[in-house]
């Protein structure tokens, strides 16, 4: 199989399976349909976080036995079962906890391994471009699945229908990943194939080495970004309902701005120091969050807030991810990506529990205020790193 065809099939399968995460944004209205609230959503996603962390910690053992691509393929089947369980839920019972657990395992394996497979078949110079492309497909799927859900609800199909539909799509993506197993082996660089059995293993010792490396700062910035993302996006359906907006408008504007921003800005911003770019884009993201606090029923500003957040968070994230890879010790690159994945999962599946409590007990304004503070901290971290690097270069 030619390299171009491989990437087409690979990114297509990634797109179909990534739609899964977008459905977590629809959990508040799904849970509300049987009388549950934001705290319950946070509880289920906390279960998802735990199983995600466990699956990532044992990732090396799993891939050593089954291989990367087979593991990704299996993750799609686990996610499909999870979505079918969510779709059939009618009360806060055991099925939801099982669904959350399976989602964590499946998404953890999928999210961490897909960029690792990319590093296996691309050069270091191609990382920013292909990581950006990967993030475009992931973001498009994540952003469009809530829009699909809103359309199905408006058409009278019910919120449960979208979970069944995306679950079926995950089965298809799983088959594609299984089919590409041999192709990945043929396209891989020889040195990475030779070390493939052990290079995924993550131990406390290696995790400690990662946290002592230069990669710590971009990992921390990524964790804060993901937490801000959760605060704004995961409960956007609640925000829209409180302010009489259509949440589909926000998700569509956010998704389009992320995709367009990443495509149009990828090359121009590549000319500038990465951490300076990250700092500027995070300032744009801060504006997007702040705008949500001052809206007064204005739909145009609501869409503008989505665009600013999409450009700020969306364009920044693949750069942060690339910086994690570039700042990593080459000998523990895979482990560095895994630690970065762990930090990300703790944010996207763990922070909803905190956000749910803040939302339920203190209100949406307080939740957005917390998001603003975290966004300001990560902006300062990126700016400080840029100034430090420039000072070091001037000395030389």
User: Are residues 250 and 365 both part of a single domain?
Assistant: yes
What's the CA dihedral at 7, 12, 18, 20 to 10 degrees?
Answer: -160
Do 313 and 393 lie in a common domain?
A: yes
CA distances (Å), origin 336, targets 49, 128, 230, 300, 345: 19, 16, 23, 41, 14
Cα–Cα distance measured from residue 110 to residue 98, given in angstroms and rounded to the nearest whole number? 18
Same domain, 79 and 181: yes
Considering its fold, how many domains does the chain have in total? Answer: 2
CA distances from 15 to 10, 110, 229 (A): 9, 12, 20
Q: Indicate if 282 and 174 belong to the same structural domain.
A: no
Half-sphere exposure in the Cβ direction for 305 (13 Å, CA) = 25
Contact between 34 and 44 under an 8 Å Cβ cutoff? The reply is: no
- One domain, residues 312 and 212: yes
- In this structure, the answer to whether residues 108 and 237 fall within a common structural domain is no
Q: Which of 201, 223, 238 is the last residue of a domain?
A: 201
Q: Is 14 found in the same domain as 131? A: yes
Q: Which residues of 360-388 are buried (b: 16+ CB within 10 A; e: fewer)?
A: beeebeebbbbbbebbbebbebbbebbee
Same domain, 27 and 54: yes
How many angstroms from the chain centroid is the CA of residue 385? 24
CATH number for position 253: 1.20.1250.20
Cα–Cα distance measured from residue 241 to residue 157, given in angstroms and rounded to the nearest whole number: 20
| Residue-range definition of the domain harbouring residue 343 | 203-396
30 in Cβ contact with 149 (< 8 Å):
no
pLDDT, position 199: 53
pLDDT the model gives residue 118: 87
Residue 288's contacts (CB-CB under 8 Å, 6 or more residues apart) are: 232, 305, 306, 307, 308, 309, 310, 311, 312, 313
Looking at 201, 224, 242, the residue that finishes a domain is 201
Instruction: Based on the fold, state whether residues 133 and 281 are members of the same structural domain.
Output: no
Residues 279 and 136 in one domain: no
Residue in the structure block whose two tokens are 């299984």: 178
The DSSP result for 350-385, as a single string, is IHHHHHHHHHHHH-HHHHHHHHHHHHHHHHHHHHHH
pLDDT tens track, the chain, 396 positions = 678 888 999 999 999 999 999 999 999 999 988 888 888 999 999 999 999 989 888 887 888 888 899 999 999 999 999 999 999 988 888 999 999 999 999 998 998 899 888 888 887 777 767 877 887 888 889 989 999 999 998 888 888 999 999 999 999 999 999 999 988 888 876 344 444 445 556 778 888 889 888 899 999 999 999 999 999 999 999 999 999 999 999 999 999 998 898 888 877 887 888 999 999 999 999 999 999 999 877 899 999 999 999 999 988 988 898 889 888 888 888 788 878 888 988 999 889 999 999 998 999 999 999 999 999 999 999 999 999 888 877 776
Residue 384's contacts (CB-CB under 8 Å, 6 or more residues apart) are none
Query: At which of 201, 220, 249 does a domain end?
Result: 201
Shared domain check, 29 and 140 = yes
Token pair listed for 193: 């194939």
Shared-domain flag, residues 386 and 287: yes
């Amino acid at each position: 199989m030619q390299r171009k065809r491989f990437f087409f099939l690979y990114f297509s399968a990634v797109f179909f399976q990534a739609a899964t995460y977008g459905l977590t944004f629809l959990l508040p209205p799904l849970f509300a349909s049987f009388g549950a609230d934001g705290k319950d959503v946070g509880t289920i996603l906390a279960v998802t976080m735990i199983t995600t962390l466990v699956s990532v910690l044992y990732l090396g053992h799993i891939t050593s036995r089954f291989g990367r691509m087979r593991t990704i393929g299996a993750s799609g089947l686990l996610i499909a079962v999870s979505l079918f369980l969510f779709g059939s839920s009618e009360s806060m019972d055991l099925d939801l906890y099982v669904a959350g657990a399976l989602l964590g395992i499946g998404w953890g394996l999928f999210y961490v391994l897909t960029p690792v497979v990319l590093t296996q078949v691309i050069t270091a110079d191609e990382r920013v471009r292909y990581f950006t492309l990967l993030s475009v497909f992931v973001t498009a799927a994540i952003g469009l699945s809530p829009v699909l859900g809103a359309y199905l609800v408006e058409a009278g199909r019910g919120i449960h229908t979208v979970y069944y539909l995306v679950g079926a799509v995950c089965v298809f993506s799983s088959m594609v990943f299984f089919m590409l197993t041999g192709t990945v082996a043929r396209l891989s660089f020889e040195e990475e194939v030779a070390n493939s059995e052990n290079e995924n293993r993550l131990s406390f010792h290696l995790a400690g080495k990662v946290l002592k490396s230069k990669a710590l700062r971009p990992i921390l910035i990524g964790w804060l970004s993901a937490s801000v993302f959760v605060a704004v996006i995961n409960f956007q359906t609640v925000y829209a309902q409180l302010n009489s907006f259509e949440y589909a408008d926000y998700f569509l504007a956010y998704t389009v701005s992320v995709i367009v921003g990443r495509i149009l800005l990828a090359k121009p911003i590549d000319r500038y120091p990465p951490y300076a770019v990250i700092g500027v884009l995070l300032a744009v993201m801060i504006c997007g969050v702040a705008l949500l606090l001052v809206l007064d029923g204005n739909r145009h500003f609501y869409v503008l807030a989505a665009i600013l957040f999409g450009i700020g968070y969306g364009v920044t994230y693949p750069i942060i991810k690339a910086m994690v890879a570039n700042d990593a010790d080459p000998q523990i690159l895979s482990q560095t990506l895994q630690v970065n994945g762990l930090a990300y999962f703790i944010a996207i599946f763990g922070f909803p529990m905190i956000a749910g409590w803040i939302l339920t007990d203190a209100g949406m304004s307080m939740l957005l205020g917390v998001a603003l503070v975290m966004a300001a901290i990560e902006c300062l971290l990126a700016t400080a790193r840029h100034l430090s690097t420039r000072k070091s270069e001037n000395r030389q």
